[in-house]
Amino acid sequence: MKATHQAKKNSTQPSLRQLPSVETLLESASLSHAIARYTRPLVIESIRQILAELRQNIRSNQSPPTLSIDAIAQLITQHLSKEWPGFAQPVINATGIILHTNLGRAPLSAPALEALSNISGHYFNLESDLHGGTRGNRTMELRKLLAIASGAEDALAVNNNTAAMLLVLIALAGGKEAIISRGELVQIGSGFRIPEILEQSGVVLREVGTTNQTSARDYEKAINNRTGIIVKVHQSNFVQKGFVSQTSIEELSILARKAHLPLVYDLGNGVLLDTAAFGLEHEPTVTEALRDGADIVCFSGDKLIGGPQAGIIAGKHEYIRLMLNHPLLRVIRLDKLSAIALEATIKSYLANTAVTDIPIWQMIGLKIEDLRVRARIVARILKAHGIDASVQDGICLVGGGTLPEQGLPTALIRLTPSGAVDEIALKLRLSSPPLITRVEKDAILIDLRTVYTDQDALLPGIITAAWA
Ligand SMILES: *Cc1c(COP(=O)(O)O)cnc(C)c1O
């Protein structure tokens, strides 16, 4: 079979036997960089795929007449960069979206990174009481820090805010009913829907009111002897306008106290700073929510806290204790690396250095005049390379399902390529490091608010290469 196939073959086609072996390719100098970057097993995988394609091409007479090792190595390198475009490298976020869910939400602060590098490579007193020499609880110190920072009696951190809500529901209202306004049965991102979390918790959803109007009376009428909890959910990623009214935490807390029910407020974005000081709308802070009467407040560690992925539960000690004693806690507990990073992040708030330490607050705090200066410098270099670049004012978003209507004024570099905008955007995303931009119909927009200052110098090289 094989012999006849080969005999019939066009004489300008290389034969299958001329293809180098996997071993030969692996040892070739042209793939040594690829091995260093992607590791041997991944390179072998790509070699096998490319060789299989080449064999197929030879059989169907579609191969180029000669196949040098270098040419094959190049195909393999291209294949690797397609398969692993973001392999172990940071990206430059030039979208201006500060909490970019697809780019890992909040980047960690320098103190959090330092704590991770100082502590996580060693044994550390995670659950060891250094005074008594017995099994203790370092997480207790994190709890105390969280409580002090949020103005709560007690606090607890788990895997994420979704897990936090699940624990709250199961530990405080397992098998009972939760009363929630129809205007707050929200979906956050792609995976968090309040009704689905309730379903998983086994707590029965008791919807009250309507989409746009829910009064304290609606909640009151729904309270019965099966009620286990009253839940308020912050409409964090959308706004309702017009004939709209939801019940405040103050009003709900009066009801909850009368009926001896816990009142939980899913804030989503717990803020510990006043967003109004940054020219943003005022987001309810964790401390305000507790002061207004919420018994328990839940929020994410990687939204407006600007820390690692975590779900923080803050509030009354009697309720936190029920959660601490619940077996579900073990399933959703915060991992040790996040605990280290969260502790360092919270310390920045207590030290009053959050605005300078924590990247998201640095970015939110950047002045438009400074952004314009940086944008002009980059644009000038690009223009010197013959690229059509201009600077204009625009609006950027905080993102991450927070402050949905809220824009921050920003400075944009507008690039107008002569060719297809999508193709250039793709080239930018596949450069090293990848550059993620905003894409308009006929322009690429670079928003420096989310670009670290020391990344500015990388932009001209990446952009000119994509234009070439
Ligand atoms: C973001 C958000 C959540 C989900 O938090 P994760 O930390 O992503 O699990 C839940 N509720 C609200 C109101 C949110 O904004």
Q: Tell the residue nearest (CA) to atom 15 of ligand 1.
A: 268
**CB 402 near ligand 1, within 6 Å:** no
pTM for the complete prediction?
A: 0.89
Substitution candidate for ligand 1 out of 249, 300, 402 with most atoms within 8 A of CB: 300
- Checking if the pLDDT of 211 tops 90, the result is no
**271 confidence band (pLDDT: 50, 70, 90):** very high
Q: Tell the residue nearest (CA) to atom 3 of ligand 1.
A: 268
Average pLDDT, the chain: 91
Q: How far does residue 222's CA lie from ligand 1's centre (Å)?
A: 26
pLDDT tens digits for range 10-60: 556 678 888 999 999 999 999 999 999 999 999 999 999 999 999 999 989
Cα–Cα nearest to 16, from 44, 47, 54, 45: 54
Among the listed ranges 131-140, 317-326, 407-416, which one has the minimum average pLDDT value? 131-140
**330 confidence band (pLDDT: 50, 70, 90):** very high
Mean pLDDT of 201-205: 93
Q: How far does residue 284's CA lie from ligand 1's centre (Å)?
A: 15
pLDDT at 136: 62
Substitution candidate for ligand 1 out of 105, 185, 188, 313 with most atoms within 8 A of CB: 188
Q: Burial letters for 426-455: b for 16+ Cβ neighbours within 10 Å, e otherwise?
A: ebbeebeebbbbbbeeebbbbbbbbbeeeb
**Length in residues, the chain:** 468
d(CA 170, CA 198): 9
**CB 268 near ligand 1, within 6 Å:** yes
**CB 411 near ligand 1, within 6 Å:** no
- Checking if the pLDDT of 5 tops 70, the result is no
Substitution candidate for ligand 1 out of 184, 190, 192 with most atoms within 8 A of CB: 192
pLDDT tens digits for range 154-181: 999 999 999 999 999 999 999 999 999 9
Could you write out the DSSP letters of every residue in 14-80? Answer: PPGGGSPPHHHHHHSGGGHHHHHHH-HHHHHHHHHHHHHHHHHHHHTT-S-S---HHHHHHHHHHHH
Q: How far does residue 106's CA lie from ligand 1's centre (Å)?
A: 14
Phi–psi pair at 263, nearest 5 degrees: -115, 115
**9 confidence band (pLDDT: 50, 70, 90):** very low
- Checking if the pLDDT of 285 tops 60, the result is yes
pLDDT at 137: 67
**CB 159 near ligand 1, within 6 Å:** no
